[in-house]
Amino acid sequence: MTVLTSTLPLATPRRARLGLTLFILALMLAPWVAGAAGGNYWVRVVDFALLYLMLALGLNIVVGMTGLLDMGFIAFYAVGAYLAALLSSPHLTQQFPLLLQWFPDGLHLSMLWLIPLAALLAAACGILLGAPTLRLRRDYLAIVTLGFGEIVRILMRNLDRPVNLTNGPKGISGIDPVSLFGLKFSGMHEWFGVRFSGLYLYYYLFAALLLAILFISLRLQNSRIGRAWTAIREDEDAARAMGINTRNFKLLAFAIGATFGGVAGALFAAFQGFVSPESFTLQESIAVLAMVVLGGMGHIPGVILGALLLAALPELLRSSMGPLQQALFGQVLIDPEIIRQLFYGLALILVMLYRPAGLWPARHLRGNAA
């Protein structure tokens, strides 16, 4: 085994600043480019891509930095979404007359309150998940976290009796759209003669929170906490022998990762105006995990690349396969959804075969050669 790390150029602060500047510039221009190319549909797609980016960065702390295989991460997304749905919709006041007496106009909590509340609740759930799993590793941890994610989804599906808390499989509707400082994000807007949809406002709100999450992730990765997580990932027994409190650092990883998921969930609820258990299935957990693995576990730029690709590629295939068949054969022979799933799976297989460390792995993984 030959290690070529020493021959790789180290990233300089100047290069890092240039890369961050280009990323922010692309982030600012993305909705206008998407809107010009495909209208509001593609603006909505890039909005969802930012939500998936938040989830991927949260899961990267648990899986990529700490090495804890979490298959139920979407549960924290669900917790944040349902909390926002309950506190910013008429559902609770309709089910509980006492609340209606206290809040005759209904609960309409601002997003300025919902985001920190969702973050705190999700962090508490992350600690509750992490505490009983501290001794578990690899496959066993994956099975337990998978079970946790399914338990949360099933609870949301069945907490409509004897007290209707989540409205069961019907979900909760009528969730207030985001309104900040008197500016409502729904409907159409016109600024300086430019008319645009509220989707653009949601995009820039998501982008601002994404940059905050990205800043926190980068600071954590380069801190004493990040080095402790890396030590646990590489060899937990050796890390413990060196005096690292593996229990506390693993719980911290679960809590911080869950916090990002809860924030994304609250934003998702306000953006959609509706939540149901079907939005938080095991398939969603696997999709977020695939983003982290595909991009490069533990490498934040790689995770961003993986999340963007897997968020946009399915929609691109979905919208292009039908017209392509119509142009080639004069009719649609195969359902575009089937082709989308086929190419999506094939792309993942090829990447894992030829780029097992991910499309953009960390430098120490990129430099290893047999």
What pLDDT does 1 receive?
37
What pLDDT does 6 receive?
38
Query: Do residues 91 and 85 lie in contact, with contact meaning Cβ atoms separated by under 8 Å?
Result: yes
Q: Please report which residue ranges of the chain form alpha helices under DSSP H.
A: 13-38, 40-59, 74-87, 91-95, 97-102, 111-130, 138-158, 198-221, 224-234, 236-241, 246-272, 282-295, 300-329, 336-354, 363-366
Residues 6 or more apart from 355 whose CB is under 8 A from it?
361
What pLDDT does 216 receive?
94
Angle at 102 between CA 100 and CA 107, to 5 degrees: 65
Q: Write out residues in the chain with pLDDT < 70, as ranges.
A: 1-12, 364-370
pLDDT tens digit sequence for 9-56? 445 577 777 877 888 899 899 999 988 888 888 999 999 999 999 999
- Quote the tokens at residue 154: 């099933």
User: What is the full DSSP assignment across 89-115?
Assistant: SSHHHHH-HHHHHH-TT-----HHHHH
Looking from the CA of 119 toward its CB, the CA atoms found within 13 Å total 14
What pLDDT does 120 receive?
96
What is the spatial distance between Cα 292 and Cα 301, in angstroms, rounded to a whole number? 10
What pLDDT does 194 receive?
77
What is the spatial distance between Cα 31 and Cα 39, in angstroms, rounded to a whole number? 10
